Structure 1
Amino acid sequence: MNTASPAPYQPSTLAEHPELTPDEIGRRFLKLIDSLKSFNELSTDRVRQVMRLPMVEVPEEDGGFLAMTLPKFAWNYIFSYSVDPKYRRYTNARFEFRNEKERVDVRLLEDMNPVCGMDFNAYEAALMNAGFKNEHASYGELGQLLALQYVRNDVRVQIMPRREANAPDSKLNHACVESISIHPLDP
């Protein structure tokens, strides 16, 4: 009897999948978003067909994910999705960026340059070209922009922008994307 526990999950690297750069996954995610004329079209089959990623499947959630890491910069980028046929509001897909150093010390704001080849302007331009309209912005207590909502038909896309870094001024004033996600438009 084998009592050894399975090895812990390790994110993939560009050495394993050199084509799966942050920009490439971002382009595929935008293609997935554009392919949805109705939110009901977001399905496991659609995600697999459009994203073409070597995902870890999570059958109990009818979903999956791919995590990639850039160890030199401590950045991870993760695509994940979940399809809930019973409760549509729980169905979603998400592409996000996380920094391990920031996870340890939340006061840090690491330079996003390694994962910001496609910046906020590129994502927003692609959504606008696909017919999405900027519908709403959410702000924090101090007036900082937290998220932007884009809508086409019954598909809502949320982008959480983030400045590239604290310095120099060019990075302070340059918007990257911390996460982008697809949701049903609330009735």
Structure 2
Amino acid sequence: MNTIRKVFASALLTLLTTSCTQSPGALTQRNSSSGTASSSTSIANKKSMETNHQNACPEVPQMNAEEVSKRMLDLIGKIKTAEDISAKNLEIATGLKVYVNADNPGKYATGAKITDTWFFNIKVISGSKDGKASRLIFSFDDQTHSGADMTSICKVDFDAYKKRLTEFGFQSEPYYGEHNRLIYWNFSRGKVELQISIRGESDENVKHNCVSMIVIDV
């Protein structure tokens, strides 16, 4: 599960920042210091570049954690076939722009900022013609990589997810590893399979289980 997180956690940020790695101000500073442009030309260029930069690189949208969880649970409740997690349906469900991989239209992603520490990301890999299932990976991602507490994103906790999924008709069971350690929870309904990874909210409230990642196969 950790490998999956490392591979897909920054999918949205990669798509958004590929062409946005240097600010227009920094570029203007470099051009101005070279002595090749007059002061008035530099100012005009700066304004033009700022406009172009804003158009090409919109800010990452922001959502609160409760809305994210509500939209995610509503989406899960509707999933019956792989078509239900198509790029179009994912845009409708999240209200966000979905970014499609230009080299592989079967891969697409979206996500948004929750706080300065936490983002959420969704990545889909469409199934192949040989019968391989489509997979959606949803995750809350700590941008500091410091094991930050989950208080700000755990108002809809694992118990709330489990209750809602049960109402949707999912059957659940925990999956344990070595030394009876809980690895994740399995949920299933027909051909739809979910694995939900959880972790404690914080060092002070470690027994309050929060959702950290959901892997859906359909």
TM, length-normalised to structure 1: 0.75
Q: Which amino acid aligns with 1:120?
A: F
Partner of 1:154: 191
Q: How many pairs were matched up?
A: 165
Are the structure 2 counterparts of residues 172 and 36 from structure 1 closer, same or farther at C-alpha, using a change threshold of 3 Å? same
Are the structure 2 counterparts of residues 70 and 50 from structure 1 closer, same or farther at C-alpha, using a change threshold of 3 Å? closer
- Segment drifting more, 81-90 vs 171-180: 81-90
| 3-state SS, counterpart of residue 29 of structure 1 | helix
How far has the Cα of 1:139 moved from its partner?
2.1
Q: Distance in 2 between matches of 1:91 and 1:162?
A: 26
Summarize deviations over 1:8-47 as a string: whole Å, max 9, x none.
4897242xxxxx2222122112111111234564433332
Gaps of 5+ in 2: 1-17, 22-56
| 3-state SS, counterpart of residue 180 of structure 1 | strand
Partner of 2:66: 23
For the 8 Å contact 1:61–1:84, the answer to whether it is kept is no
Partner of 2:109: 65
Q: Which amino acid aligns with 1:12?
A: V
Are the structure 2 counterparts of residues 65 and 40 from structure 1 closer, same or farther at C-alpha, using a change threshold of 3 Å? closer
Gaps of 5+ in 1: 15-19, 103-107
Q: How does 1:1-187 map to 2 (within 5 A)?
A: 6-8=19-21, 12-14=60-62, 20-39=63-82, 41-59=84-102, 60-70=104-114, 72=116, 74-102=117-145, 108-134=146-172, 136-167=173-204, 171-184=205-218
TM, length-normalised to structure 2: 0.66
- Segment drifting more, 56-65 vs 144-153: 56-65
For the 8 Å contact 1:116–1:177, the answer to whether it is kept is yes
Identity %: 22
Are the structure 2 counterparts of residues 68 and 87 from structure 1 closer, same or farther at C-alpha, using a change threshold of 3 Å? farther
- Segment drifting more, 122-131 vs 21-30: 21-30
Partner of 2:25: none
Summarize deviations over 1:106-165 as a string: whole Å, max 9, x none.
xx532101111211011111100000011x422232322111111111101111011101
Q: Distance in 2 between matches of 1:52 and 1:111?
A: 27
- More strand, by proportion: 1
Q: Which amino acid aligns with 1:125?
A: K
Q: Distance in 2 between matches of 1:85 and 1:11?
A: 33
How far has the Cα of 1:61 moved from its partner?
4.1
